[in-house]
Amino acid sequence: MIYLDYSATTPPSDEAIEAFAAASKNLFANPNSIHAPGREAEAAMRKTADGILHLFDAPGYEVVFTSGASEANNLAIKGYALRHQAKGRHLVTTPFEHASVAASFARLAKLGFEVDVVETDDAGRVTPAALGALLRPDTILVSVAAVSSELGIVQPIADLAALVAAQSRAAFMSDVTQAVGKIRLALDGIGLATFSAHKFYGLKGVGALLRRPDLLIEPQIDGGKSTTGCRSGTPALPLAVSMETALGLALSGLDLKIARVASLNRRLRMRLAGIPGIAINSPSDAVPHILNLSVLDRDADDMLDILDREGFCVSKQTACSSGATRSEAVFRLTGDERRARTSLRVSLSHLTTETEVDLFADAVERGVSG
């Protein structure tokens, strides 16, 4: 098996698994309990949150631990909009968001909020001019993913956040799930940031919302004491500890990892360029970890089946929206129905080898000609 679906999920590192096991064994008490083991667990929870903020260089934020990025996105978007709707009911997002972001805005639209989707340039980027044209006195939330999960588009987050701060009273949110461990990421100007551990070699079932304390949100889960007023429920300390471990490892030696993946991406693009009937959908300046391509003469499901039989793991669109008949993200970027219906997402890692890239290109070529 050759795994090229790292943007759907990554294999958990041994260190993350070991951290989870150790915390499960040694810090099993409920962090909400007032007895000595509970206080020890609560202290470990605070230390873990502080460690995550240190790794993000984000002092002063609150870490709201969640079950993953989907929950964090729902909490941030719905929680902020519902809390601040008296100030306005206008929201802005982009066409290249994760399904959990798009669905949250769709739910709010049904509740009477007005949602604008900002126009993007030919490479899928949101320009400050396009975003600025949408900002209004009643705009309360702008949400732009740092890196799109399907095409790897990198947004100019710092510029957009600065624009929102200068021209509106809106909060700026970013789903940074696909950015962590793929690019250098600064939270300056981001009031609400969301991510999930299983995208950077951590365990499934844990993620977080990093919240600037002045941005109040309405809880979406009621009842049950926790370490935060934003999200009820017994804190999952072992998962939180494992996420801090995974995050530290993901950010360690990041520049070398990025360079390695960039080399693999160039190699794969070069190989695919020599195969007739292949179109590359990811922009040239996308994160190198994500390469979206279309096999124009093959239905996407058929191509996935061919590759799966040969032992290659890739995705059609994203894992959270793979039931759709076409990729809305690819269609929005290219305007090409055929490319949108035949697109595949290949996602690379610093664990990927040149041999694996070459073997995949060979398999694609056989699939095209077979």
Mean pLDDT to the nearest integer, 126-149 = 98
Separation CA 178–CA 319 (nearest Å): 13
Report whether 84 contacts 108 (CB < 8 A). Answer: no
Reference 8, options 351, 348, 358; nearest CA is 348
Please state, in angstroms and rounded to a whole number, the distance separating the CA atoms of residues 360 and 2: 8
Q: What span, in angstroms and rounded, lies between the C-alpha atoms of 57 and 51?
A: 10
Question: Which of these CATH numbers, 3.40.640.10, 3.30.565.10, 3.40.50.300, 3.30.420.40, describes 14-251?
Answer: 3.40.640.10
pTM, two decimals, is 0.95
pLDDT level of residue 228 (50, 70, 90 thresholds): confident
SS3 203: coil
Per-residue pLDDT tens digits for 247-270: 999 999 999 999 999 999 999 999
Give residue 212's pLDDT. Answer: 97
pLDDT of residue 318: 55
Which residue in the list 275, 280, 320, 368 is annotated as catalytic?
320
Mean pLDDT computed over 217-221: 94
Q: How far apart are CA 176 and CA 82, in angstroms?
A: 22
CA-to-CA distance for 43 and 238, rounded, in angstroms?
13
Tokens of 225: 């004491």
Domain map of the chain by residue range? 14-251, 253-369
Cα–Cα distance measured from residue 71 to residue 317, given in angstroms and rounded to the nearest whole number: 21
What is the amino acid identity at position 64?
A: V
Q: What CATH number has the domain spanning 253-369?
A: 3.90.1150.10
- pLDDT category of residue 323 using cuts at 50, 70 and 90: low
Q: What is the pLDDT of residue 226?
A: 75
Q: Is 230 a catalytic residue?
A: no
pLDDT in tens, 331-352: 999 999 999 999 999 999 999 9
At position 309, the amino acid (one-letter code) is R
Q: How far apart are CA 286 and CA 148, in angstroms?
A: 9
Q: How does 202-222 read in b/e, with b if 16+ C-beta sit within 10 Å?
A: bbeebbbbbbbeebebebbee
Closest C-alpha to 3, from 301, 356, 363: 356
